Amino acid sequence: MRRHCSILLLVVASLIVPLEAHHSFAADYFEDQRVSVEGDLVEFDYRAPHSWVHLMVKDERGGVEKYSAEWASPTRLSQRGVTADSLKPGDHLVINGSPGRKPAERRLHLKTITRPADGWSWSGPNTAR
C-alpha cells in the first residue's frame, strides 16, 4: 500500500510541475520595470498560448519601429470582454508593460492598453486602473 501511495504521489507531482512551469515571463522581460509605447496597430494576433499586439511606434529620429507586446491568452482575454475584433489595424494605442531583456527585439509584456480615441482600455489583474 505504501508503494502504491508513493507511485501515486509521484504521478500527481509530475502532472502538477509542468503546469506550474509553463514559462516565466521574468526569463524574457524585466518584470520590475515599466515602459510606455504609443503607436498605430498593424496586427492583433489573437491566439494561444498568448496573444500579441504589433504596432508601429515613432522613434526619436522621426522614423517608425515595430514593437510587439505579448498579452494574455484568448481565454483570459475573452473573460474580460476582449475578442479577436476588439482591436483593428490603424487603431492608435498606448501600451504600458515590462520591457524585453533584448532591447533590439522591441518587445513588451503588456500590462495595460488604452485606445485614446474612444477611451477603451484593459489592465491586468495586478495593475491598478
Domain coverage including residue 75: 24-123
Instruction: Report strand pairing: 64-70 vs 107-115.
Output: parallel
Asked, for residue 8, whether it belongs to a domain, the answer is no
Residue 2 scores a pLDDT above 70: no
**Domain tally, the chain:** 1
CB neighbour list of residue 22: distance below 8 Å, 6 or more residues apart:
49
To 5 degrees, how large is the angle CA 53–CA 82–CA 111?
50
7 within some domain: no
Is there a contact between 70 and 52 (Cβ–Cβ < 8 Å)? yes
Q: Is a pLDDT exceeding 90 seen at residue 15?
A: no
CATH number, domain at 42? 2.40.50.1010
Q: What mean pLDDT do residues 119-126 have?
A: 86
HSE at residue 25, side-chain half, CA atoms within 13 A, is: 19
How does pLDDT run across 31-83, given as a tens digit for each residue? Answer: 999 999 999 999 999 999 999 999 999 999 999 999 999 999 999 999 999 99
Predicted TM-score (pTM) of this structure: 0.78
End-to-end CA distance of the chain: 53
Which amino acid, residue 56? M
Quick one: cell of 20?
A: 506550474
Amino acid (one-letter) located at 99: P
Burial class (CB in 10 A: 0-12, 13-18, 19+), 110: buried
Contacts of 61 (CB under 8 A, 6+ apart): none
